[in-house]
Structure 1
Amino acid sequence: MAIGLHGKYSIGVLLTFILLAAAMLYVFPVISMITGVKGITAFSFSLSRIVLWAILLMLFLYSHFVEKGSFLLKGEKKYSLAFRVKAMISLYLICAIGGAFLNVVLQLLVQEKMSEKLFDLTSIFRHNYFLIIFTCFTAGAVEEFLMRGYVQPRIEKIYNSPVLGIFISALLFGLLHSTYGTISQVIIPFFIGVVFAVFYKKYSNITILISCHFMIDFVSLMIMNSFDSKHLSVF
C-alpha cells in the first residue's frame, strides 16, 4: 500500500531524530575504530561535524526523491538588512538572558557541575579558530535546517497544529543535546528551540536563525577559548 504524504513526513521526522541521535552517541567510537585516533581530538571532532552535513544531505535527498517536494515547506521570506540585524540582536538577547536565568535557577535547584564532555572540548578549541568557526557554522546551518526548516513544518502539517510543530521540534532539539550529560544542556537548548521555532513560524526566514545560532555558539566558544578551564563553570 502506498504511503501518504503525511506518512512520508512522519518517516522523515523519525529518520531525522534517529540519524542525529546515532551521530551524537556513536560518531566518536566509530571514528576512533576507523582512524585509530583515541579520544576526542580536533581531527575527530571535525570529522564528526562532517557527519552532520552528511545527515543534512540525506534528508535533503529524502525530501526530493521520497516526499517529492521542497525541503523547506515554508517559503523563505525576504527582509531588509535593518530587520535582519534587529531580529538577530533581539533573538540573541532573548536566548542569552533567558538561558542565563534558567542556568541560575537550575544551579539553585540541582547544583549540577559543568558538563564533563564540554569541559573536555575546551582543550581542542583552545586557539583553534578555524575549528571554532567551522563548528559554529555547522551547528547553525545543520541544526536550523533540520529542526526548524525540516521537522517543525512537517509536524505542523501532520497534526495540523502550529503549537505541536513548535513544541516537538524544540523538544527534539533539547534532547539531542542530552549527550552533554547535564540537565541544563537539555533545558536551555529546549528554551532556545522554542524561541527560534516561534520566530520561524511567524517570519519564515531560516537564514536569520542560522546567523543567530552561529552568533550564540561563536560567543560561547570564544568565552571558552578566552578563560582558564577551571573558571568556566561560572558561565
Structure 2
Amino acid sequence: MGLNGKYSVGILLTFMLLGIVMLYVFPVISMVTGVRSITGDTFFISRLAIWAVFLIILLYSHYIEKESFLVQKEKKYSVSFGIKAVICLYLFCVFGGAVINLLIQNFIHKEESSKILQFASIFKNNYFLIIFTCFTAGTVEELLMRGYIQPRIEKIYNSPYAGILVSAALFGILHSTYGTIGQVVIPFFIGIIFALFYKKYSNIKILIACHFMIDLISLMAMNFIDFKHLSVF
C-alpha cells in the first residue's frame, strides 16, 4: 500500500473511531458499570475514550505510515502574535457562530438539544470536569481534525481546498450526535476558519488554545445561567 493509501486508511480510522465513541461510549459504559444515567464519572470516562482514539492514531502514524503525526511543519511565532491570534479567532468564531445560531433559531425552528441540557446539569459546579473536557476537546480534536486529517487530505488530492473542506465537514458531522442543526453547521463554520488559519500559519498550538477558550467560556457561562436559556449555545 502506498503512502496515500495509508493516509486514507488513517483518516477513515480516525473518523470511524471518533464516531463510535460519540455514538456508543455511554451505552458501553452503562453496560460495563451498570450506571444507567450519565454522571460526572461516566462523562470523564468518555473523555478518556477520546484520548484513547488519539493514542491509536498516533501509533498508526508512527508504525504504519512511518511519518510524523504532524506532516505539516509547525511554525513558531511570538507570544504576542499567539495571544492576538487566539483573541481574533475566538471573536470571529463566536460572533460568526452567534449569527448562524440566530438565523437557525429564527428562520428554521427553535432547537434545544436534550444532550446539551443533560450535560449542563453534569457540569454544574464541577470545575475539574469542565476544564478536563475543554482540554480534551481542544487538544484531541485540533490534533486529529487539523493536525492529522487536513494535511493528509491535501496530499491525497493535491488540493489545499480539499483539506480545508473535508476536515471541516468531518468536524461538523462528528458534532451531529448532539441532535441539532446548529451543532453541525456552527462546528463546520468554525472548522473552516480553523482550517484556513492552520493552512496559512501552520501552528496547531494556537488553535488548541482558541478551541479550549471557546469551550471553557461556553461551559462556564452555561454553569451560571438558567437551563431554559441554553438554546443560545
Q: What TM-score does the superposition give when structure 1 sets the normalisation length?
A: 0.98
Q: Which runs of 4+ in 1 moved over 3 A?
A: none
Q: Distance in 1 between matches of 2:41 and 2:181?
A: 28
**2:52 paired residue among 51, 54, 59:** 54
Amino acid at match of 1:35: T
**1:191 paired residue among 189, 192, 206:** 189
Q: CA deviation at 1:234?
A: 4.1
Amino acid at match of 1:77: K
Amino acid at match of 2:162: L
Q: Distance in 2 between matches of 1:227 and 1:111?
A: 22
Q: Deviations over 1:1-31 (max 9, x none)?
A: xx00000000000000000000000000000
Matches within 5 A, 1:145-224: 145-224=143-222
Q: Deviations over 1:151-188 (max 9, x none)?
A: 00000000000000000000000000000000000000
Name the counterpart of 1:110. 108
Residues 87 and 208 in structure 1, CA contact (< 8 A), matched pair in contact too: yes
Matches within 5 A, 1:23-172: 23-172=21-170
Q: Deviations over 1:23-49 (max 9, x none)?
A: 000000000111111121100000000
Q: Deviations over 1:105-149 (max 9, x none)?
A: 111221232111001111110000000000000000000000000
Q: Deviations over 1:170-208 (max 9, x none)?
A: 000000000000000000000000000000000000000
Amino acid at match of 2:126: N
Q: Distance in 2 between matches of 1:195 and 1:216?
A: 13
Moved more, 21-30 or 222-231: 222-231
Q: What TM-score does the superposition give when structure 2 sets the normalisation length?
A: 0.99
Amino acid at match of 1:138: T
Unaligned runs of 5+ in 1: none
Q: Distance in 1 between matches of 2:230 and 2:113?
A: 10
CA gap 1:29/1:220 in 2 versus in 1, 3 angstroms: same
Q: Deviations over 1:77-109 (max 9, x none)?
A: 110000000000000000000000000111122
SS class of match (2:100): helix
CA gap 1:228/1:201 in 2 versus in 1, 3 angstroms: same
Residues 101 and 232 in structure 2, CA contact (< 8 A), matched pair in contact too: no
